[in-house]
Amino acid sequence: MDTESTHRQEALSSRNVTKTNSDVTLPKRHEEMQYLDLVQEILANGEHRPDRTGTGTYSIFAPPSLKFSLNNNGQPILPLLTTKRVFLKAVVAELLWFVEGNTSSTALSEAGVKIWDGNGSREFLDSVGLSHREVGDLGPVYGFQWRHFGAEYVDAKTDYTGKGVDQLAEVIQKLRNNPYDRRIILSAWNPADLKKMALPPCHMFAQFYVSYPRSERNEAQQNGGKKQGHLHCQLYQRSCDMGLGVPFNIASYALLTHMIAHVCELVPGSLTHVMGDAHVYCDHVDALKVQLEREPRPFPTLEIAREKGGSIDGWKVEDLIVKDYNPHKTIAMKIQRRCQLRDKYKAEMSVDDACPSSTVVSTVPSRTAAFASTTLIAVSVAAIDMVFIIGGAVIGRVAALWMISEMMKEKPIMHRIVQNELEADAFIREILANPGLTIELMGHVFINGKCVKRYNRFFNLSTTFGVPIPPYKIEKLLTGGAHGE
């Protein structure tokens, strides 16, 4: 671990400690520190790995679980991270969307929550083989599995009432009638439906458990009263985006546990978050370093504006009232989407190809070169089209690669060898700091000769290991259209 990491770890360890009158130091750490510690651990020791988005991550597997209290002496608590502002409106809207079994991103989008828009877009659905779906139809994702597990999915508009297994209703029935049951589980992972989903579930399943603390049990017996059960939830998440996803998921399942406890007339107990692949995206590193420097603040409290008992259905946003949320400022982080080109040809790439130890950054530093680059793209597209038509796919790939590489030799390009994508990012920022190069610049990050990253307005002229960029993709780059997510 480097000096900076060591100092950071010492600072983390010294936070939130108190001294007794006898000067004995007793740790009293904010629960958010578990999250910050894990982020720090990943940044310091995580393995650099490729991923489906083409961005790259630093990852560790099966880290220690995070555990959050959901009440403080009877006051409901919501573990909403405070070292940055979490998008609470989206957390609540998405959770209620899950509960109602909705599978269309349109409903969320109309409510001003756009978090599923990318996965429900025409381009994305086409890229994952769901071109028959309407825009916004995500397939049998979370809510469908919660409320209709095993039903045959048709589309987002079909009425599935009475079809499949309503797992959420069964969870509530068991908690009310058989709280000692060890099978109180809510699963979103249905292997039979995975290929029908725009995105397979990351948070896969949750198990619920009712405890009867000894102290409260004895007190109830002494007073002739009814013992009060405490509801606990353990979430398993296979893929954990520490920058954006995990703070969101913690809040979401904490809220779900509060809601279920409310309808089952239980005391909200705790949320335990168990993770599989816990990772930090390479382009979230700088933002998370800023977050690590911030001190956690008290978690907000939660008030539920509904009578206890009742149904899990029909909840509205205004039923969940979060009070005293006073976080630090928002930290912008990019939402990762599937890199469609790399996914399309991932069978032809090895792990070493996708995430090597060294990177070459190339830039074209002049208006003339940029103009020549644009011309080169047009010529290359025509060449690719021609050889594909004449020679077929295999010959076409080789020939098109040769043509592009030969024409690339004529351009003035400056190179710098870097060890990883972080250094590549730093090099790009250094170049952009020169006002004379900002607009004319064209840049790509090559890994083992393959372009894996584009910056801002740069054009990607490279290919993914023997597979030319499709003409429509290059055309979108030339016209300023969307890159692959």
Mean pLDDT of the chain: 75
Selection from 108, 105, 110 nearest residue 122 by Cα: 105
HSE on the CB side for 128, CA within 13 Å?
Answer: 24
Please write down the long-range contacts of 217-220, taking CB distance under 8 Å and 24 or more positions apart: none
* Domain end residue (candidates: 310, 338, 366): 338
Do 300 and 354 share a domain, yes or no?
A: no
Q: How confident is the model at residue 353 (pLDDT cuts 50, 70, 90)?
A: very low
457 and 428 Cβ atoms separated by less than 8 Å: no
Tokens linked to 378: 């047009």
Asked if 91 contacts 248 with a C-beta cutoff of 8 angstroms, the reply is yes
CA separation for the pair 89, 479 (Å, rounded) = 35
Please give the Cα distance from 409 to 277 (Å, whole number). 42
Cα distance from N-terminal residue to C-terminal residue, the chain: 33
Helix 285-292, helix 32-45: angle, nearest 10: 140
Number of domains the chain contains: 2
Task: Determine, yes or no, domain membership for 221.
Answer: yes
Do residue 111 and residue 217 come from a single domain?
yes
Least confident of 114-128, 289-303, 455-469: 455-469
> Residue 453 sits in which domain range?
349-478
Mean pLDDT value across residues 186-204: 97
CATH number reported for the structural domain that contains residue 232 in this entry: 3.30.572.10
**Of 290, 311, 338, which one is at a domain's C-terminal end?**
338
More confident residue, 351 or 4: 4
Looking at the structure, do residues 236 and 275 belong to the same domain, yes or no? Answer: yes
> Is 17 among the domain residues?
no
pLDDT for the residue 303: 98
Instruction: Establish if 20 belongs to a structural domain.
Output: no
Does 312 share its domain with 379? no
**Mean pLDDT lowest among 28-42, 88-102, 278-292, 463-477:** 463-477
Dump pLDDT digits (tens) for 215-261: 776 666 655 667 899 999 999 999 999 999 999 999 999 999 999 99
**401 in the same domain as 474:** yes
Identify whether residues 233 and 144 lie together within a single domain: yes
pLDDT for 249 equals 98
| Residue 182 is assigned to a structural domain of this protein | yes
pLDDT category, 54, cuts 50, 70, 90? Answer: confident
The answer to whether residue 47 is domain-embedded is yes
Position 1 in a domain? no
382 closest CA partner among 369, 400, 365, 405 = 400
Ranges of H-type helices in 118-186: 122-127, 142-148, 167-177
Domain-embedded: residue 109: yes
Out of 315, 338, 361, a domain closes at 338
What type of residue sits at position 369? A
Confidence of residue 286 (pLDDT cuts 50, 70, 90): very high
Indicate if 327 and 362 belong to the same structural domain. no
Query: What DSSP line would sit under 187-237, residue for residue?
Result: E---GGGGGGSSS--SEEEEEEEEE--HHHHHHHHHTT-----EEEEEEEE
> How far apart (Å, rounded) are the C-alpha atoms in residues 145 and 134?
20
DSSP helix, strand, coil percent of the chain (3-state; round to 5)? 40, 20, 40
Residue 401 sits in the same domain as residue 332: no
DSSP 389-458: HHHHHHHHHHHHHHHHHHHHTTS--EEEEESSHHHHHHHHHHHHTSGGGTTT-EEEEEETTEEEEE-TT-
Token code pair at residue 121? 């877009």
Q: Tell me, what DSSP letter sits at residue 134?
A: P
Q: Is 267 exposed, middle or buried (0-12, 13-18, 19+ CB in 10 A)?
A: middle
Specify if 21 maps to a domain: no
Same domain, 153 and 108: yes
388 and 323, same structural domain?
A: no
**pLDDT confidence tier of residue 360, bands split at 50, 70 and 90:** very low
Q: Which of 202, 339, 355, 451 is catalytic?
A: 202
* 400 and 316 within one domain: no
Axis-axis angle for helices 245-263, 88-99 (nearest 10): 50
Q: Per residue in 71-98, pLDDT tens? A: 999 999 999 999 999 999 999 999 999 9
Between vectors from CA 349 to CA 125 and to CA 390, what angle results, nearest 5°? 80
Q: Which of 277, 203, 191 is nearest to 233 (CA)?
A: 203
State yes or no: is 202 an active-site residue.
Answer: yes
Cα separation, 98 vs 147, in Å, equals 9
Mark whether 357 and 307 lie in a shared domain.
no
